Copies of this chain bind each other. A is one copy, B any other.
């Protein structure tokens, strides 16, 4: 969450927060029947129906509809906060989980689509991932193709069928399209040809001749590939995938999904796209936007499996131990001195046995421990104990921060 905050801010996204409780009428009917059922709903002290938010999108829509005039556009916000969905089981379970969304509201510019891709990319790298692919698609392209094939009125059914491709295979999808949806076998095979994961934009273009909207989609994708490459994103990490069908009933333009090469089965860890009308339910002003949502649960699972999470249980690399109980002020002083040099430092609260303090240091994963008793105070030095190597060095106080910084940089 800290890393994603830093990346979002570096791109100029501002944090917002909205209340966990909204009036129930704001939330009901916005996420479908299932979502209504899972809503935690009750009456507040004034007998009004309130409910706990089930996602961050509906509150964002309510918020922008209410405040957009003051905020102005483009409005770039991120929101990392818990949402609640009650599982209707016998075991009395409830679920709270954190969502992590970022969006750019109030502009149709493709620049924001490309930027969304850049943020996803830089976020993944900042989290420590190297082998991943951001798959992109555009709803306009798929619409155009289906239009050309005369299948526009069957869009939803065709997409739902397409979504099963990986699970049931080509022949079963063809069969399903022919039998259940009523397309011809030729049409079905054409859809599958186009949705093939290796198709290029150049190969797609002929399918859209004369279809302006579809060609506009192609153009946006072309710009996305070329501009992100110019901006320094390795091209092998960005891939066209016309088969991305999930979420197509919500997104109206660009679509993103992010897959880890080492854990493809975990699914997309960051998904998003462009939508036309965020706040249609709350305002008549059209509010286009583009954004994505980081799947924190999946990412955490992946980071654990790929050993990207260290065992460090302290935010501070330095433990100042206490040896001489009459020198509390000095131990606290050296902690503050290190902090002013940008080095987080924890001071052990009391002068118990040094072994106990070093065991604590070990368990919590500190990088170095500082030790000083009467000898050191007399000489004006501190013993720096490197907790990886076990080696100790006596260092003058004036050189302390610099020496510790050098040790910390080594271990990075």
Residues of A within 8 A of B (CB): 9-15, 19-21, 38, 40-42, 44-48, 50, 52, 72, 74, 76, 82, 84, 86-94, 96, 104, 107, 109-112, 114-115, 118, 122, 223, 226-232, 313-316, 319, 322, 328-333, 335-337, 339, 344-350, 360, 363
Given A9-B316, A91-B46, A227-B332, A72:B346 Cβ within 8 A: no
16 additional contacts, CB 8 Å, given A9-B315, A111-B350?
A: A11-B335, A12-B347, A14-B314, A20-B20, A21-B96, A45-B93, A46-B94, A74-B349, A109-B350, A111-B332, A227-B328, A227-B332, A230-B330, A231-B329, A231-B333, A232-B333
> By the criterion CB–CB under 8 Å, are B42 and A40 in contact?
yes
The answer to whether B332 and A114 touch across the interface, beta carbons within 8 angstroms, is yes
Q: Are A92 and B46 in contact (CB under 8 A)?
A: yes
Query: How many copies of the polypeptide does the oligomer hold?
Result: 2
Write the nearest CB–CB distance from A41 to chain B, whole angstroms: 8
Are B45 and A10 in contact (CB-based, < 8 A)? no
Q: Indicate which residue in B13, B227, B344, B347 contacts A329 across the interface (CB closer than 8 Å).
A: B227
Q: Contacts A92-B44, A107-B350, A349-B111; is A328 near B12 (CB within 8 Å)?
A: no
Structural contact, A313 and B89, CB atoms closer than 8 A: no
- Whether A346 contacts B89 by the Cβ 8 Å rule is no
Cβ–Cβ contact B228 & A329, under 8 A: yes
Q: A9-B315, A329-B229, A339-B10 are in contact. Are A115 and B347 (CB under 8 A)?
A: yes
- With A20-B84, A50-B94 known as contacts, the answer to whether A38 contacts B42 (CB < 8 A) is no
Do A226 and B329 contact each other (CB < 8 Å), given the known contacts A111-B349, A314-B12, A346-B76?
Answer: yes
Please, which residue of chain B has its CB at the minimum distance from the CB of A325? B111
> Once the chains are docked, how many angstroms separate the CA of A110 from the CA of B332?
12
Q: What residues of B have a CB within 8 angstroms of the CB of A74 in the complex?
A: 348-349, 360
Cβ-defined partner of A72 (8 Å) among B38, B46, B332, B360: B360
**Nearest-CB distance from A320 to chain B (Å)?**
10
8 Å CB contact of A42 from B20, B42, B313:
B42
Q: How far, in angstroms, from A331 to B223 measured CA to CA in the complex?
A: 13
Complex alpha-carbon distance, A55 and B284, angstroms: 39
Check B94–A44 contact: CB distance below 8 A. yes
Q: Smallest Cβ distance from A133 to chain B, in angstroms?
A: 19
Contacts A92-B45, A332-B114; A20 near B82 (Cβ below 8 A): yes
Q: What is the CB-to-nearest-CB distance from A330 to chain B, in angstroms, rounded to a whole number?
A: 6
Q: Which listed residue, B11, B112, B228, B322, touches A344 by the CB 8 Å rule?
A: B11
